[in-house]
Structure 1
Amino acid sequence: MTEPAPFQADHAEALVSPSPNHGERKEARTPDMILLHYTGMETAEAALTWLRNPASEVSSHYFVHEDGRIEQLVPESRRAWHAGRSLWKGDADINSASIGIEIANSGHPGGLPAFPGAQIDAVIALCRDCAARWRIAPERVLGHSDVAPGRKVDPGEAFPWERLHAAGVGHLVPSQPVSGGRFLQRGDEGQPVEALQAMLALYGYGIEVTGEYCAFTEGVVAAFQRHFRRERVDGIADASTIATLHRLLSALPAYAG
């Protein structure tokens, strides 16, 4: 197997470990999104080997080890293959729009282990650097589960989005505490479901406004909870979920004030 060509790291703290799995960003796009993943594999070494194997046809721009070491696999100017079938704000080519960051963590298969502090510090520094260089808006720092609800669940509900937000990375609001009250769930129909779907779509989720709380709607709600209301991830739109979604939309720059 021919070794992929070396390149100059875009992030000063990254060690270059080239992957052959990349291509041109379509329509000469530049990245305007950062997409975070967990590896979901037993070891970092196995995940890194897979991302650099041409047979896998997957890759990411960066790989962050548990101890905070960063490896760059694909130049930021190139289209890494990390998002798969995804959608955000009507855009189906998330790979051309994004910088993909794989974070070594066994995730749900491994029982959702905590992300070490040094690793999260490195993710924050990397995201801040990428966002500054490419002028990526905070609300465009997302999880894989956001753009592929029902299909992907990473980086998972154990990922500390609050730490990132406190350091200026990502868009977040304090979640409404989980309590009782009215809720929407699979099988419900009507205007309240339409309103929920419309709000989710307005934020960016790839969901149609049908008025039917179907299995896919449940998956989108679970994806929203996994990122923005992590206390309970069950796909049921309770009062806490809906209030948190309202707050999130109100906090967007386009809707503030």
Structure 2
Amino acid sequence: MVRLLLSVSVILLLNACAKQPYAASNKIYKTKVKALAKSIQTKAVPLQPNDIKQPTENIYTTNFGLRKPNMVILHYTAQNSCEQTLQTFTKPATEVSAHYVICKDGTLHQLISDYLRAWHAGAGKWGNNADVNSSSIGIEIDNNGIDSFSKAQLNTLTILLASLKKQYNIPTTNFIGHSDIAPTRKIDPGTKFPWEALAKKGFGKWYADTSTVQLPAGFNATYALRIIGYDVTNVKAAIKAFKLHFIANNVTDDLNEAEQKVLYAVMSQYL
């Protein structure tokens, strides 16, 4: 009887572990959130008594709230499965994460609160913003960089983007890709990502027919890229990033006349 009870206990324990493969990382998440909550109650700058005259009592403002994101950065995972990505994002050693992961079947995982800073953008820059992680939401879509995105994924993505745009009042221009903010390092979400379809729904900008567009005399492509938001420290990389997003079928580091017209048409929407 004792042996039977022990066997049953072992089976129940194994089943519990099997059903909660992310129990350890979930515990770390909760611990870190508690630590962050405690840290905001602490003085940001520790001062010695003789540094600055101290008040006789602490006074706190009543007017504050959580910081809100105002950008959405879209990625592909460049991994072989959603499960592999979830494992990557729940290991402290990887030091990489995102707010959301969308699996091929459309399953949506939220891994971190929108109000917290995920580590998805890296050394990215958009316009004058050189700390994209602090102002953005990162969405990773399960895709190896070769396959097309599934209908279920794109349906989930559209619903999620609509919710985020409404909740945080995110500007239409601020739905961009990882390659847009990191042109020298990244190419995701890649040439198969349906930017035009998303733009028609209000997530990002696109352009109309450019056959009648007349380029102004002395049109400066570098200036146009900068107006849109691209980091033009490396102009050739910025051109490739632009073409990944808006042209996709000829991703080189130069612009022919037709591609310059596309650039001009896109830039005109940012003026």
TM-score (ref. length: structure 1): 0.77
* Contiguous gaps of at least 5 residues in structure 2: 1-22, 38-65, 212-216
For residues 171-210 of structure 1, the aligned pairs below 5 Å read: 171-174=205-208, 176=210, 195-208=220-233
Asked if structure 2 preserves the Cα contact closer than 8 Å seen for 1:35 and 1:101, the reply is yes
Highest CA radius of gyration, 1 or 2?
2
What is the letter of the counterpart of residue 64 of structure 1? Answer: I
Asked if structure 1 preserves the Cα contact closer than 8 Å seen for 2:149 and 2:193, the reply is yes
Counterpart pick for 2:92 among 54, 57, 60 = 54
Query: Aligned pair 1:130/2:164, yes or no?
Result: yes
For residues 213-228 of structure 1, the aligned pairs below 5 Å read: 216-228=234-246
* Contiguous gaps of at least 5 residues in structure 1: 8-17, 178-190, 209-215
Asked if structure 1 preserves the Cα contact closer than 8 Å seen for 2:73 and 2:176, the reply is yes
Please state how far the C-alpha of 1:3 moved relative to its aligned partner. 3.5
Counterpart pick for 1:144 among 178, 184, 193 = 178
Please state how far the C-alpha of 1:2 moved relative to its aligned partner. 4.3
Please state how far the C-alpha of 1:176 moved relative to its aligned partner. 4.5
- The match for 1:155 is 189
Please state how far the C-alpha of 1:19 moved relative to its aligned partner. 11
Counterpart pick for 2:101 among 63, 68, 73 = 63
What is the letter of the counterpart of residue 176 of structure 2? Answer: L
Please state how far the C-alpha of 1:47 moved relative to its aligned partner. 1.2
Please state how far the C-alpha of 1:171 moved relative to its aligned partner. 1.3
Asked if structure 1 preserves the Cα contact closer than 8 Å seen for 2:225 and 2:267, the reply is no
Counterpart pick for 1:4 among 26, 29, 37 = 26
Counterpart pick for 1:91 among 107, 129, 133 = 129
Identity of aligned residues (%): 34
| CA distance, structure 1, for counterparts of residue 235 and residue 254 of structure 2 | 9
Counterpart pick for 2:152 among 104, 118, 124 = 118
Q: Larger strand proportion, structure 1 or 2?
A: 1
| CA distance, structure 2, for counterparts of residue 94 and residue 61 of structure 1 | 13
Q: Larger helix proportion, structure 1 or 2?
A: 2
| CA distance, structure 1, for counterparts of residue 31 and residue 128 of structure 2 | 29
- The match for 2:63 is none
What is the letter of the counterpart of residue 40 of structure 1? Answer: A
What is the letter of the counterpart of residue 119 of structure 2? Answer: W
Please state how far the C-alpha of 1:173 moved relative to its aligned partner. 1.3
| CA distance, structure 1, for counterparts of residue 74 and residue 137 of structure 2 | 9
| CA distance, structure 1, for counterparts of residue 175 and residue 27 of structure 2 | 29
- The match for 2:113 is 75
- The match for 1:184 is none
